[in-house]
Structure 1
């Protein structure tokens, strides 16, 4: 069962490892990022960073889309973790309805608009995010579970 869907440029790092996995009792993290899936060093680094009792899968977005039925059938408490909004949106288009997506860190880049201390979206990312909002998905901005949760839906 998918418990958390998160976009975080840093992927698997301290906040995810210590806060989110404990908060949501995560048993499996599925990283969906094409660049990482094609980089053996990055995959090895993620495997070393994960908690010992948490399973890890790393897929390109296309591979993850091909495995949607298998992902939906998993009994584990799952966190889907994306590096960027573009691949998140592509996956969600294929996956179907979800209730909420957490934006953890989307770094600043040229032409990006600031939505919080950690969320900067380009015009294309705003468009993709608005499309998800228009489908009824709540887009929360929250660094750690104990932090105040704000919703991007009201700002786009």
Structure 2
């Protein structure tokens, strides 16, 4: 079952690998990111950095679409991580029983609006986030499970 969905440009890193996987009792991580899925070095680095007891799959958007029935049918507690808002907006509506999306890290770039110290969205990302909100998803900003949870839904 998909237990946790996160957008984080860093994909797999310490906060994800240690804090979120433990707090959510995650057994499988699915990364959906075109750049990571087509970069053998990035894929190898992610596989080497994950705990040995957690399964990892890395897909492009198209591969995720092709496997959506399998992704929705996983029996283990699963975390889905997107590298950007556009990918999350394309795939999250296809995921079964997902109620919320965690915005974990989206860096400051030209023409971005600040929503928190670690979430900066461009105008298209704001619109994509609004579409997720309108689909009934709760959008929130939270770095680690023990930090304060801030509503992004309320700010859109």
Shorter-chain TM-score: which interval? Answer: over 0.9
Shift of 1:74: 1.0
Residue correspondences, number: 156
Uncovered stretches (5+) of structure 1, i.e. residues with no partner: none
Q: Which residue of 1 aligns with 2:135?
A: 135
Q: Secondary structure at the match of 1:115?
A: strand
Shift of 1:65: 1.2
User: SS at 2:116's partner residue?
Assistant: coil
Give the unaligned 5+ runs of structure 2. none
TM-score when scaled to structure 1? 0.97
Q: Where does 1:62-141 land on structure 2 (aligned, <5 Å)?
A: 62-95=62-95, 98-141=98-141
Counterparts in 2 of 1:126 and 1:96: CA distance versus 1, 3 Å: farther
Q: Tell which deviates more after alignment, 123-132 or 96-105.
A: 96-105
Give the distance between the partners of 1:99 and 1:93, measured in 2 at CA. 10
Runs of 4+ residues deviating >4 angstroms? none
Shift, 1:96, TM fit:
5.7
For normalisation by structure 2, the TM-score amounts to: 0.97
Q: Which residue in 1 is equivalent to 2:149?
A: 149
Q: Does 1:2 align with 2:25?
A: no
> In 1, distance between residues paired with 2:139 and 2:24?
17
Partner of 2:31: 31
